[in-house]
Amino acid sequence: MSQFDTATLAGGCFWCTEAVFDRLKGVTKVVPGYAASKVENPSYEQVCSGRTGAAEAIQITYDPSVISFETLLDIFWHLHDPTTLNRQGNDIGTQYRSAIFYQTDEQKHLALASKEALEQSGTYKKPIVTEIVPFTNFYPAEAYHEDYYDRNPYQPYCQFVIDPKVRKLLKEYRKEVKASML
């Protein structure tokens, strides 16, 4: 029986990140929610106020014998712009910050190493502002946020913001995508 691990990542709108990571082989569950909140069990409205300290994030349960944390990080770095502070596209505020909430020393080491390698690669011209911080808490988002992209494929945000990210994943990470998604 496989041992599952958990990764908690924030890269802007959790609808976008959930839609991408949910399509990966070895990922058994992706939950959209709020990480690093100063308020217990915050609502979407509270998080949008910017006063909770929470980031829109996803919590990924995965089988490391199928997909590595390093691969999850590689996809994370290319899924959003890690050089914009507290913003992804038109989504602005601290709740949309880029962050890796590590849960073990190994995750911390791998996250720092992957960030350094990305900076050295020259992929981005501006400095990477992604926070790499200890995991403190995660609260699942309201039920209507779950599987948002799959339940609302014709909603304009899904078509113009999320769909290009999913198509990019399918093209660039084809071998990591679940066969049912191809």
Q: Is 60 helix (H, G, I), strand (E, B) or coil?
A: strand
DSSP 103: -
pLDDT of residue 2: 63
Bridge partners, residue 6, by sequence: 61
How many other CB atoms are there within 10 angstroms of residue 125's CB atom?
6
How many other CB atoms are there within 10 angstroms of residue 170's CB atom?
15
pLDDT of residue 170: 87
Structure confidence by residue, pLDDT tens digits, 107-130: 999 999 999 999 999 999 999 999
User: Which residue numbers in the chain have pLDDT < 50?
Assistant: none
Specify whether 48 is catalytic.
Answer: no
pLDDT of residue 75: 96
**What residues have CB less than 8 Å from 63, skipping those under 6 apart?**
2, 3, 4, 5, 26, 28
Domains of the chain: 5-181 (3.30.1060.10)
Q: How far apart are CA 52 and CA 133, in angstroms?
A: 17
pLDDT of residue 140: 98
Q: Please pick, among 13, 16, 48, 158, the residue that the annotation labels catalytic.
A: 13
